Structure 1
């Protein structure tokens, strides 16, 4: 890292707090610890390189966990409230099976004394093979974004896309990110300042599951605490998950004013501004932003500030001033509208070549967005330029010094020193994978241009964008646990360069944005292996195999669901209460219409009426400069440095499909964890915070699967007042005079 301690502190504050030197665990021979306080309190500064890592148990349980999580997460992705089953569930589930295999399998050594010598049972089930199983599970826990292309083409557009072409797209987008990860690991994995907060949840759980602990007087061991929290989470989810779904969004304003459009617009947690709405359901809390218990407090504050600014300042001002005919449409919606407030008929403007029919578009008229949907694009534009400027101003010196010393001996923290014992992965391994993958992508796009529409230059341009942005976005993610998105800028660029081709737009976005996002997933796992002292070459192998398994199972599951569930994702035809509404795929499809089919020039350019939103790029570039200048002018005011503009702007990147209730509940829990518990109950936070997060995730996941297998597959449901998740039917109604929408009163 940086040689001078002063520079180190300057770069990482306020993320790093110096702590007193702490002795390592027994036998470590280390008398130092990480400069990041949260890491020092959570990750052991010790290693035992003799522990077996690549075992028969690891292969069997790791591959099974990857396949099972891939199936379950893709299966639940199409539902109204997507149930995200994290790798933590698999991390817990494999423990008893691992111990059983250690007790039952033969310890016979096969091919003893030869090169291929191995044993089915090398001894006690250990933490390092458990970590590798979790790396496999992590590969299956994240839904491949590229499957949105398959859903959009097959379901929404009703066009042809063969399974093998879809598989090539999914595999190449997933593996492409691995190449970027290899190039940037020295910047985003090795430095202590890049601490990846989400990993601390899994590290805490590994310690709970493998370290013996004496119960403190009057307290609980972490194992006991985890078990109690897990049982409570498991038992409780039967209420929001089946018996009382209204707990997902408690929108009490709608109950008080059942006939008021204004009150329901203000109070609806799912279709409005969500004032006072809360979700008493861990699924609604963690579905889109991840666990609030894993978010650093300064990041939580920035997210809350950005959310409040967009939801409660910018959006209502735009709506009640009727900017862009806002009152003609719902205040919060991911649908696309005509100028009269009706749903836009997309199929009417597509010709037989799967291209925009301009005469038909002129006849249908311009496309309009809801107020909030338009503002999310404004924030996304600003976030892009803010990310670049922020990283250059606040981390530029760090990255420059790292670049100059990339091939020299660098100052490391204790974890970097311990990892020096293991053989590193050569750079050319990653470069080879990257080169072959780009070549395969070019070949597939050329041979199947009739299905994918993306020309060869589009592939190379998308790769260039991913390469440029992986580092600055990675710095933000590694220090704040939030990912600034590139989806909008990739859509914007290809939309101008190649308008009228929706599949080309989607493919460009996936190769330019998702390859970068997948790289961040790989880098986060590399940091987990760094913390848990997994040999780098073993990590390389596990990540590659896990990605291949995950891609196959995810696509196979999605294809099966699209072929077997009637009218999946079609909200107009699905029966009332059907869970198969596909909120994420709807947003993806809408974006393909806005940016690909119609194109940004006809919406955000000279031919559109949203052109003023382009000023957001300038706002995003200027805002970090103001914060940086304020920090230089008032260096003693440390709170100024806590203002992270990209995180503030990226706050609403998940909305829609995320809604106000998801954010309200997330911010409240984040406050109690990151501020109250961390500041005033530090010992409790150290022992139990991340353990609680893992227990809540696991309990929810197991009960969610059980409810579906036991009741959902048999279509056994309840019909009563508590079954309605929001109870705000008027929240999506327009308030402009004379606009007629089915189910809504007409204003005069």
Structure 2
């Protein structure tokens, strides 16, 4: 769910320079996250009949959120604690495990929403109704009927706890590539501390991004819509039984189906149509293969290559992403392979590093036993070369970082300044009111019934994390100098608000790892002692300073929409992470102990799944930025820094075109989405992209526009069921075949030489 927490939903337009205080989405274009339900001819305009505090809410919020509340409903219960543990543990394990795979479907938050609701109702029927405890510490084992508020709180706790952890990258890197195992206690404390640093940083942006009704947080709104659909289903047994029947049928189907591409019939994972025509022609195979080629006309029937984003991402985002894939895979890669512009011998689609002769670079030789850069070995082996695709991945990564920050500056400056003035005014009135009380819309008035989270809670969280990490780094643990940790905190504080704003209005998360590791490389390149895994450690700290802040704020927005006590939401988020991090470490140990040969390349995984793509990429960046150093890197690749220039120019050019030609809809040409897609695509597994685009066209364009009532009833239910079925299948395969290892027989659908029958590769 880290790389997903995937990631909802639809806006049709970009925000204009200022945001008028109206209730219509047409006046606030970038916030149009969910396309409106088609209007019914002859329906009168009801806005004149609504109270002014309701009209302050965007229409999409009024359609999805209930505007009444009962503050007496119990929320933090024994049932909540029990179900949080039940749903966090498998999610934290699966998400960590999936981070070592090339593709995977995220642990579905929709599954948690639906399953926890039904499990909670079952507990409400079966648990005895009595108080338990000791002395004054007593609680109701079963306080009454299960409520949708309890479902929301379980989901919020699981959404943060049942995820992977950025800290696993540096720990894995050190062990796999540099044979240095981190002490388990240090590892778990480090993983907790970087997460809680991000949670404490949520305090920086929450006054600007949480209470403003015009900032809707797309995934929070979508999940709220699903919560309220569940509540309505409880009151309408016919509708509820229909949706649940579809959910479980789809779940069973996907669970059974995934045994085919994952195990029995891997041919289905990559339908390389061109290879069927000429299975032994190298050129045709390169064009058609999805496992080593560019995936032209390649389709996939493996849900791990498709995922539920085809049913969640707004259609315009899917169009931009597919356009970036076509440009990167179907245009740039053939040019790089068959023109003289790029030296093909340097691993066209590889994340690895190469010598001048094109052989894999012996990076282990560049580091001495004392963890110093080996100048003699570098002089002997020569300059380090990147694969062509890795080079432009890095270029567009730089562009995406600058583009994301500028996009927020251009489109959000008026609104953020208004929020700053509002917060400043609230802090200097006689009553010293909170930011939420400065807004007069219905939702903020309802939330006024609950005490807000004190600022001191965030300060305490930060101080605990700060002391823990300072002690770890000062004692020589986790590979970085302690002073670089302080720099990471400063950069995180600066970037958290603009990037969280971008996510709050678009649901598109900007990855900042490459920039952070480049900055770390500049800081340590003149030090004699520098550990390559330090780049990932630094990147995890600086990255989580906004990744975790963003997720915390998103789920607090769900609490805002669902009328949950803010303090209960805060504590549930901490509780989920206290459970999840130790499970993250257990999953890390299982992967490193059982899949080590695949991850290091000693053995080849026939499905190209246990390849540790992200880990390989992290090691490549570590070599470039820590051992080699940015100065040497940019001397050899002088065009890379121009990615920052492109990232600065593109948003301004698009904004200019949008203002000059508003009907041309240039505001949908989001440069950050395009650049980030270009920076993430790995050509050695290019199957699935065409299937995603076709599926997204069916679900988020055709079905949404022309079959809206059916879409609204079943789209998210099916998305949850398919992701859940995939993860259940992977879990079953793990349980069954780790205890009783079985080598699947080779046959036409599981060819030993090439599962997709592209034999020339």
TM-score w.r.t. length of structure 2:
0.87
**Residues 708, 561 of structure 1: CA spacing in aligned structure 2 closer, same or farther, 3 A cutoff?**
closer
Moved more, 397-406 or 303-312: 303-312
Is the 8 Å Cα contact of residues 330 and 371 (structure 1) preserved in structure 2?
yes
Matched with 2:325 is 307
**Residues 216, 7 of structure 1: CA spacing in aligned structure 2 closer, same or farther, 3 A cutoff?**
closer
Matched with 2:13 is none
1:247-277 residue CA offsets vs partner (Å, 9 max, x unmatched): 2221222232222332222222232221111
Does residue 624 in structure 1 map to residue 651 in structure 2? Answer: yes
1:636-671 residue CA offsets vs partner (Å, 9 max, x unmatched): x16122222111211234323884224332222222
Pick from 66, 69, 82 the counterpart of residue 60 of structure 1. 82
Moved more, 412-421 or 342-351: 412-421
- The 5 A counterparts of 1:672-691 are 672-691=698-717
Does residue 702 in structure 1 map to residue 728 in structure 2? Answer: yes
Is the 8 Å Cα contact of residues 24 and 44 (structure 1) preserved in structure 2?
no
Does residue 384 in structure 1 map to residue 401 in structure 2? Answer: yes
Distance 1:221 1:66 in 2: 28
1:80-120 residue CA offsets vs partner (Å, 9 max, x unmatched): 544532233333443443233222222123479x9644210
Distance 2:574 2:391 in 1: 39
Is the 8 Å Cα contact of residues 170 and 534 (structure 2) preserved in structure 1?
no
Matched with 1:644 is 670
Matched with 2:70 is 48
Distance 2:84 2:132 in 1: 22
1:101-144 residue CA offsets vs partner (Å, 9 max, x unmatched): 222222123479x9644210101122111222212221233210
Matched with 1:746 is none
**Residues 682, 295 of structure 1: CA spacing in aligned structure 2 closer, same or farther, 3 A cutoff?**
same
Matched with 2:355 is 338
Matched with 1:35 is 58
**Residues 272, 36 of structure 1: CA spacing in aligned structure 2 closer, same or farther, 3 A cutoff?**
farther
Distance 1:130 1:179 in 2: 25
Is the 8 Å Cα contact of residues 396 and 676 (structure 2) preserved in structure 1?
yes
Matched with 1:572 is 602
Pick from 369, 375, 390 the counterpart of residue 392 of structure 2. 375
**Residues 683, 517 of structure 1: CA spacing in aligned structure 2 closer, same or farther, 3 A cutoff?**
same
**Residues 195, 312 of structure 1: CA spacing in aligned structure 2 closer, same or farther, 3 A cutoff?**
farther
Matched with 1:613 is 640
SS at match of 2:689: helix
Matched with 1:588 is 618
Give 1:566 deviation, angstroms.
5.7
Matched with 1:440 is 468
Gaps of 5+ in 1: 732-748
**Residues 179, 111 of structure 1: CA spacing in aligned structure 2 closer, same or farther, 3 A cutoff?**
closer
SS at match of 2:418: helix
Please report the RMSD computed on the Cα atoms of aligned residues, expressed in angstroms: 3.1
Pick from 105, 108, 114 the counterpart of residue 86 of structure 1. 108
Pick from 144, 150, 153 the counterpart of residue 123 of structure 1. 144
Is the 8 Å Cα contact of residues 23 and 33 (structure 1) preserved in structure 2?
no
Matched with 1:419 is 447
Give 1:14 deviation, angstroms.
6.0
SS at match of 1:405: helix
**Residues 622, 89 of structure 1: CA spacing in aligned structure 2 closer, same or farther, 3 A cutoff?**
same
Does residue 107 in structure 1 map to residue 137 in structure 2? Answer: no
Give 1:397 deviation, angstroms.
0.8
Distance 1:672 1:183 in 2: 40
Give 1:532 deviation, angstroms.
1.9
Give 1:220 deviation, angstroms.
8.4
1:391-446 residue CA offsets vs partner (Å, 9 max, x unmatched): 11111111111111125454455433332221110223212322332232222111
Matched with 1:347 is 364
Moved more, 263-272 or 75-84: 75-84
Gaps of 5+ in 2: 1-17, 38-44, 427-436
Is the 8 Å Cα contact of residues 302 and 643 (structure 1) preserved in structure 2?
yes
Does residue 474 in structure 1 map to residue 495 in structure 2? Answer: no
Pick from 159, 176, 191 the counterpart of residue 138 of structure 1. 159
Is the 8 Å Cα contact of residues 269 and 277 (structure 1) preserved in structure 2?
yes
1:270-308 residue CA offsets vs partner (Å, 9 max, x unmatched): 32221111221222112xxx6221112222222223333
Distance 1:2 1:200 in 2: 20
Distance 2:237 2:139 in 1: 39
Is the 8 Å Cα contact of residues 208 and 223 (structure 1) preserved in structure 2?
no
Give 1:631 deviation, angstroms.
1.8
Matched with 1:745 is none
SS at match of 2:741: coil
**Residues 328, 621 of structure 1: CA spacing in aligned structure 2 closer, same or farther, 3 A cutoff?**
same
Distance 1:674 1:215 in 2: 28
Matched with 2:746 is 719
Distance 1:413 1:31 in 2: 6
**Residues 560, 330 of structure 1: CA spacing in aligned structure 2 closer, same or farther, 3 A cutoff?**
closer
Distance 2:280 2:189 in 1: 51
Distance 1:293 1:576 in 2: 29
**Residues 189, 297 of structure 1: CA spacing in aligned structure 2 closer, same or farther, 3 A cutoff?**
farther
Distance 2:127 2:23 in 1: 54
Distance 1:23 1:547 in 2: 46
Matched with 2:431 is none
Distance 2:757 2:623 in 1: 30
**Residues 13, 103 of structure 1: CA spacing in aligned structure 2 closer, same or farther, 3 A cutoff?**
closer
Is the 8 Å Cα contact of residues 201 and 693 (structure 1) preserved in structure 2?
no
Matched with 2:280 is 259
Distance 1:729 1:611 in 2: 38
**Residues 42, 661 of structure 1: CA spacing in aligned structure 2 closer, same or farther, 3 A cutoff?**
farther
Is the 8 Å Cα contact of residues 11 and 395 (structure 1) preserved in structure 2?
no
Distance 1:412 1:718 in 2: 66
Pick from 192, 195, 200 the counterpart of residue 174 of structure 1. 195
Is the 8 Å Cα contact of residues 22 and 55 (structure 2) preserved in structure 1?
no
Give 1:163 deviation, angstroms.
1.9
**Residues 214, 150 of structure 1: CA spacing in aligned structure 2 closer, same or farther, 3 A cutoff?**
same
Give 1:501 deviation, angstroms.
3.5
Matched with 1:298 is 316
- The 5 A counterparts of 1:66-77 are 66-77=88-99
- The 5 A counterparts of 1:130-279 are 130-200=151-221, 202-212=223-233, 214=236, 221-279=242-300
**Residues 329, 720 of structure 1: CA spacing in aligned structure 2 closer, same or farther, 3 A cutoff?**
farther
The alignment covers a number of residue pairs equal to 716
Does residue 602 in structure 1 map to residue 629 in structure 2? Answer: no
Distance 1:560 1:210 in 2: 39
Distance 1:579 1:620 in 2: 32
**Residues 328, 241 of structure 1: CA spacing in aligned structure 2 closer, same or farther, 3 A cutoff?**
same
1:692-736 residue CA offsets vs partner (Å, 9 max, x unmatched): 2112112222232223323454222242232254444555xxxxx
Give 1:351 deviation, angstroms.
0.5
Moved more, 365-374 or 221-230: 221-230
Moved more, 530-539 or 721-730: 721-730
